[in-house]
């Protein structure tokens, strides 16, 4: 798809095609007011099929079908509209293809339909001095001319459905194609075929770039070519900018051109559509313009209504209206809301760069800082609540932050606020899913908070990331968050509890990624910091936790007898507090350690006790993991039916948590069980599923 603005400076090309017979009463000619076809066009087959199907299924005799193509500027909707018009004119007995760009008639935000009617009547053969003066008479004149006609009317850059209604031909044999930056809600339901254009996917965008450039450098350096495509974020107009840059520098490798392209898109924008975005921005209300300028400062690649409200400080209803206004103006794509349960939205890359340019011109650094600090404190609170609801109350070193004024919390509910076990499970699952969906924003918030010196918030965010990592280990972003938490705890310097907790969290992530020596350094330093703890209940729990983590590191090294001693010691520390959950957790650890040293009967007893306790306390993750550990012991003891039932229970728990690591190892265990029982086909199916899960979750 070519640059959407490339035809704006050219007059429309009028092509007269000779047809067989007399079809329009004006000498048998078809008038086609369309530009030449674009040289390069990819994708959009589904949208074209929808348009043709809508015309074929239309049954009204006096009212034409209306096809609305809507998308932010730069996605190629005008080129698609022209293509659909050509396709329809080739399939149906069309007398004329007329095209009007509303930008040519717009004054401010308004278009006078009477002016457009005058233009259309002239295209239909009415002499200029014969066009009716009064608007009502002009409408009647247009309807007489189009009654029974078979024409295609293309209306480009429409902002309001009310401007289209007077222009509708009085014939069900005609077709109206409308392009718009945003939705046209004024049309009645069923009156239009509403086609929303998404950005090009990576495959289609790569194909378009290859057609534009036709350069061997793309194939020679596929990684750099992919980076170019990703910078353009699915916008055909941006791909044309990239293509022009590549063609202009024949000798430079693509990897060198990447920085130039990034600077071009960030500093100058997308030629041909930049002025359209500027015009749309100029027409925004103050709240919508403020929100647009602040959105590129939102950490992470996505935002929600709630986080946009926190960032802007506008209040929920005003922020809702501002987002709707940005959508109508073609500066935001709300269709992304339908892709996720959490309602994530994002600014397309080139639009984000445009918003950032406006922000640099019009927003003071202090305003950005204030907005980001407000958002960070709100987001930390949401992550803390989601962590508590998903994992239950447990040891943490930062209390839940206070609500942010005028910004509501995400609608997650506390499982403990109901007696219904089924509802409690649903609420916990919803909270865990929120953490999963928002993980990239949580990671980005950690980076931003650390850069702003907000040590409390950095340490607080390590807790929900820790919960996320228990189900989704081996993620580099997790390690980065936990390293920053340690750095913030050290930088703060005045809280021994932070030092113990963050070093233990980092140590576990390290040994799970194979960095045992580095993990040992963190554990040693955690044990040293534990000497500075006081006598409060939280500090005593932290001391016991440090001993537990030392034992877990020993287990990771295969030193299970020594690990068992640490778990036993940690359980005694929890008993002295007393801390029933801590006692239960160390019972589970001791059961695992006894299984590793070969004392299966003791392991079975301890793990059975732990599993029953976790079920009673509704600790979802540990119910699944203790079931898995107990099943392994029962399998070794020859109690395979009991083992299978527990594996199935563990599988269900892991599936509800979307825990790829746990799902994969349970499928492997079921495969082993089936192999031992001679069920080889079932065993291979489980192992295939496990391999797929590991590959999908990056677990090797």
Confirm whether 1 is domain-assigned. Answer: no
Last residue of one domain, picked from the residues 178, 196, 214:
196
Whether residue 38 sits in one domain with residue 183: yes
Last residue of one domain, picked from the residues 256, 274, 292:
274
Q: What distance lies between CA 177 and its chain's CA centroid? A: 31
Residue 671, C-beta contacts closer than 8 angstroms, at least 6 positions apart: 682, 683, 684, 686, 687, 690
Residue 444, C-beta contacts closer than 8 angstroms, at least 6 positions apart: 299, 300, 301
Q: How far apart are CA 131 and CA 121, in angstroms?
A: 7
Per DSSP, 178 falls in state E
Cα→Cα distances 244→36, 209, 248, Å: 20, 10, 6
CATH number at residue 208: 1.10.8
Contact 195, 179 (CB under 8 A): no
Range of the domain at 26: 14-196
Tokens 């009007």 locate to 100
Q: Tell which residue, 87, 111, 109, has the closest CA to residue 97.
A: 87
Helices vs. strands in the chain: H and E counts, helices first: 29, 9
Radius of gyration of the chain (CA): 32
Alpha helix positions (H), 266-348 = 274-282, 286-294, 305-312, 316-328
Tokens 């309001």 locate to 160
Confirm whether 78 is domain-assigned. Answer: yes
Handedness of CA 182, 185, 191, 196 (dihedral sign): positive
Whether residue 206 sits in one domain with residue 161: no
CATH number at residue 119: 3.40.50.300
Confirm whether 246 is domain-assigned. Answer: yes
The SS3 call for residue 657 is: helix
Cα→Cα distances 15→18, 33, 98, 150, 498, Å: 10, 7, 11, 17, 75
Last residue of one domain, picked from the residues 196, 221, 245:
196
Cis? peptide before 578, omega within 30° of 0: yes
Q: How far apart are CA 621 and CA 662, in angstroms?
A: 10
pTM given for the model: 0.79
Task: Kindly report the number of other CB atoms within 10 A of residue 672's CB atom.
Answer: 16
Half-sphere exposure (CA, 13 Å, Cβ side) for 695?
6
Whether residue 192 sits in one domain with residue 94: yes
b/e burial code for range 241-267 (CB count within 10 A of at least 16 → b) = bbbebbeeeeeeebeebbeebeebbbe
Question: Residues for the chain: how many in total?
Answer: 700
Confirm whether 693 is domain-assigned. Answer: no
Whether residue 245 sits in one domain with residue 217: yes
Tokens 């350690």 locate to 593
Whether residue 187 sits in one domain with residue 99: yes
Burial class (CB in 10 A: 0-12, 13-18, 19+), 445: buried
Contact 570, 579 (CB under 8 A): no
Cα→Cα distances 115→65, 422, 566, 674, Å: 23, 63, 85, 77
Handedness of CA 596, 600, 604, 606 (dihedral sign): negative
Task: Kindly report the number of other CB atoms within 10 A of residue 652's CB atom.
Answer: 14
Q: Which regions in the chain score pLDDT beneath 50?
A: 1-28, 338-339, 341
Confirm whether 613 is domain-assigned. Answer: no
Q: How far apart are CA 609 and CA 616, in angstroms?
A: 11
Q: Tell which residue, 48, 58, 33, has the closest CA to residue 81.
A: 48
Whether residue 160 sits in one domain with residue 22: yes
Q: How far apart are CA 684 and CA 689, in angstroms?
A: 9
The tokens of 90 are what?
């080739």
Contact 205, 234 (CB under 8 A): yes
Contact 22, 44 (CB under 8 A): no
The tokens of 251 are what?
């000798």
Whether residue 232 sits in one domain with residue 142: no
User: How many domains is the chain built from?
Assistant: 2
Confirm whether 561 is domain-assigned. Answer: no
Whether residue 255 sits in one domain with residue 181: no
Query: 636 forms bridges with which residues in the sheet?
Result: none
Whether residue 208 sits in one domain with residue 191: no
Task: Kindly report the number of other CB atoms within 10 A of residue 495's CB atom.
Answer: 18
Confirm whether 25 is domain-assigned. Answer: yes
Whether residue 186 sits in one domain with residue 215: no
b/e burial code for range 556-574 (CB count within 10 A of at least 16 → b) = beebbeebbbbbbbbbebb
Residue 524 has φ and ψ, to the nearest 5°, of: -60, -40
Whether residue 207 sits in one domain with residue 191: no
Confirm whether 356 is domain-assigned. Answer: no
Provide the pLDDT for residue 190: 67
Whether residue 263 sits in one domain with residue 125: no
């Amino acid at each position: 798809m070519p640059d959407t603005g490339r035809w704006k400076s050219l007059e429309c090309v009028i092509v007269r095609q000779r047809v067989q017979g007399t079809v329009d009463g004006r000498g048998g000619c078809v008038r086609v007011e369309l530009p030449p076809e674009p040289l390069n066009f990819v994708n959009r087959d589904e949208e074209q099929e929808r348009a043709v199907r809508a015309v074929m299924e239309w049954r009204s005799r006096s009212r034409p079908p209306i096809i609305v193509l809507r998308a932010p500027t730069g996605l190629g909707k005008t080129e698609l509209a022209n293509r659909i018009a050509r396709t329809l004119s080739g399939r149906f007995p069309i007398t004329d293809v007329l095209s009007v760009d509303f930008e040519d008639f717009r004054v401010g935000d308004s278009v006078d339909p009477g002016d457009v009617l005058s233009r259309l009547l002239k295209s239909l053969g009415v002499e200029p001095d014969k066009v009716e003066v009064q608007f009502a008479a002009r409408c009647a004149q247009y309807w007489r001319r189009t009654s029974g006609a078979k024409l295609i009317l293309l209306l480009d850059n429409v902002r309001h459905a009310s401007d289209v209604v007077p222009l509708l031909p009085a014939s069900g044999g005609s077709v109206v194609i409308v392009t718009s930056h945003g939705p046209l809600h004024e049309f009645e339901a069923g009156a239009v075929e509403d086609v929303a254009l998404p950005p090009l996917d990576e495959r289609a965008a790569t194909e378009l770039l290859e057609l534009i450039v036709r350069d061997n450098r793309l194939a020679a350096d596929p990684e750099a070519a992919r980076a170019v495509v990703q910078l353009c974020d699915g916008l055909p107009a941006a791909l044309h900018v990239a293509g022009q840059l590549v063609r202009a520098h024949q000798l430079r490798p693509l990897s060198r051109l990447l920085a130039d392209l990034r600077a071009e898109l960030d500093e100058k924008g997308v030629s041909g559509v930049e002025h359209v975005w500027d015009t749309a921005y100029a027409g925004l209300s103050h709240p919508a313009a403020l929100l647009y300028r602040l959105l590129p400062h939102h950490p992470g690649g996505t935002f929600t209504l709630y986080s946009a409200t926190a960032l802007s400080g506008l209040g929920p209803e005003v922020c809702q209206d501002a987002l709707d206004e940005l959508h109508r103006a073609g500066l935001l794509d709300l269709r992304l809301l339908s892709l996720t349960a959490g309602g994530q939205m994002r600014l397309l890359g080139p639009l984000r760069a445009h918003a950032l340019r406006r922000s640099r011109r019009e927003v003071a650094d202090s305003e950005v800082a204030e907005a980001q600090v407000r958002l960070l404190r709100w987001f930390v609170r949401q992550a803390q609540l989601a962590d508590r609801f998903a994992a239950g109350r447990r040891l943490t070193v930062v209390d839940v932050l206070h609500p942010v004024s005028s910004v509501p919390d995400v609608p997650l509910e506390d499982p403990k606020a109901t007696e219904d076990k089924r509802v409690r499970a649903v609420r916990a699952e919803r909270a865990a899913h929120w953490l999963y969906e928002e993980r990239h924003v949580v990671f980005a918030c950690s980076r931003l908070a650390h850069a702003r010196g907000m040590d409390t918030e950095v340490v607080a965010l390590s807790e929900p990331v820790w919960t996320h990592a228990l189900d989704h280990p081996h993620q580099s972003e997790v390690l980065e968050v936990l390293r920053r938490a340690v750095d913030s705890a050290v930088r703060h310097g005045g809280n021994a509890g932070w030092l113990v907790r963050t070093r233990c969290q980092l140590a576990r992530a390290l040994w799970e990624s194979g960095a045992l020596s580095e993990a040992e350094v963190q554990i040693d330093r955690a044990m040293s910091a534990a000497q500075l703890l006081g006598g409060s209940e939280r500090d005593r729990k932290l001391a016991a936790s440090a001993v537990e983590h030392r034992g877990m590191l020993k287990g990771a090294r295969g030193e299970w007898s020594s690990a068992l001693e640490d778990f036993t010691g940690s359980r005694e520390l929890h008993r002295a507090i007393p801390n029933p959950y801590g006692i239960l957790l160390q019972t589970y650890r001791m059961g695992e350690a006894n299984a590793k040293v070969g004392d299966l009967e003791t392991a079975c007893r301890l793990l059975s006790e732990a599993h029953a306790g976790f079920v009673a306390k509704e600790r979802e993750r540990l119910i699944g993991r203790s079931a898995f550990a107990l099943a392994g012991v029962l399998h070794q003891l020859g109690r395979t039916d009991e083992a299978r039932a527990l594996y199935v229970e563990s599988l269900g728990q892991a599936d509800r948590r979307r825990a790829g690591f746990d799902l994969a190892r349970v499928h492997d265990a079921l495969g082993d069980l089936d192999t031992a029982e001679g069920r080889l086909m079932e065993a291979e199916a489980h192992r295939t599923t496990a391999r797929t899960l590991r590959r999908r979750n990056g677990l090797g």
